[in-house]
Amino acid sequence: MKLSTKAWERSANIYNAIIKHPFNQELMQGTLAKDKFAYYIEQDVIYLQDFSRCHAIIASKIPLEHMHSFLKYAEYTLIAEQEVVHQFFTKEFNFTETGLITPATLSYTSYMLKTCLNESVEIALAALLPCFWVYREVGLFIAAIAEKNNPYFRWIETYSSEAFCNSVDEAIIIFDAMAANTTEAVREKMLDAFYKSTCLEWHFWNDSYRKRVFDDLLN
């Protein structure tokens, strides 16, 4: 069995919880409160800055044949997602920044950076892959049901697009190729990292939905 298949199977329960989460259910129905979506976008901007940096870190370590893919992901993340999607929504809905950060945003970005800097490139890959993969699956799931007049259609379109889906397929292929060439011990750590990041994905949506604030002890 490919390691990617194993990784996804181990995280299946979390993915199901993500799909069923009120954030994504309401996004799908087009009823998600704008302030919750705005807060999520604000967190995502913070997240994508470090996500992009992590891809650059991986690009600096990964075998040459895969390096350009990761430089491309680093650039795509910043330009296509942050500048296009987030700027679109900020302008379209007149969002204003709160300047706040959720516990999940801080945890997840710290986890990714720590892993990319301290662990082998295979484990770093495993820590980043869930974001791509989960977003593709969520995007496709929602796209199949959401109406065209859904106010969040631009977001749905981005994460269900052919270009994005192809990028995810490419990332999974690289993940499996690297997994095939490493030790069993590292493969286990790859599975663990993938699982942890998938958990953090759930927390990211949950914290955004609940508008949690990191240093608000009563929240």
Partner 1 sequence: MTISEEILKKTSIQSNEIIYSKFIQKIRSGTLEPDKFIYYMIQDVNFLKYYAKCNAIIATKILYEYKADFVAYTKSSITYIKFVEEYFFEHPEYQSNSTTRATEGYTNYLVKNCATKPLELALSAILACELLYKSLGEYLKNNSVTNNSYEPWYLPLSDPEYVKGVDKLQYIVDDYGLAASSATQSEMIDIGAKGYVWEYEFFQDAYAKQIFNDY
Using the rule CB under 8 A, is 12 a contact of partner 1? Answer: no
Q: Does 209 bind partner 1 (CB under 8 A)?
A: no
CA distance 101 to 107: 10
Which one of 6, 61, 72, 203 is in contact with partner 1 (CB under 8 A)? 203
Query: Using the rule CB under 8 A, which residue among 136, 189, 196, 211 binds partner 1?
Result: 196
- The number of residues in the chain equals 219
- The packing angle between helices 121-143 and 184-209, to 10°, is 40
Query: What span, in angstroms and rounded, lies between the C-alpha atoms of 146 and 215?
Result: 35
56 lines the binding site for partner 1 (CB under 8 A): no
Question: Do 46 and 101 contact (CB within 8 A), yes or no?
Answer: yes
Does position 14 bind partner 1 by CB under 8 A?
yes
Residue 46 binds to partner 1 (criterion: CB under 8 A): no
Nearer to partner 1, 107 or 182 (CB): 107
37 binds partner 1 (CB under 8 A): no
| Residue 163 engages partner 1 in binding (rule: CB under 8 A) | no
Chain centroid to CA 4: 16
**Total residues contacting partner 1 (rule CB under 8 A)?**
21
Q: Longest C-alpha distance within the chain, in Å?
A: 50
Q: How far is the CB of 182 from partner 1 (least distance, A)?
A: 21
**Residue 176, C-beta contacts closer than 8 angstroms, at least 6 positions apart:** 2, 3, 4
| Cα separation, 193 vs 146, whole angstroms | 32
Among 73, 194, 202, 209, binds partner 1 (CB under 8 A): 202
13 token code pair = 């329960």
Binding site for partner 1 (CB under 8 A): 14, 17, 103, 106-107, 109-111, 113-114, 117-118, 195-196, 199, 202-203, 206, 214-215, 217
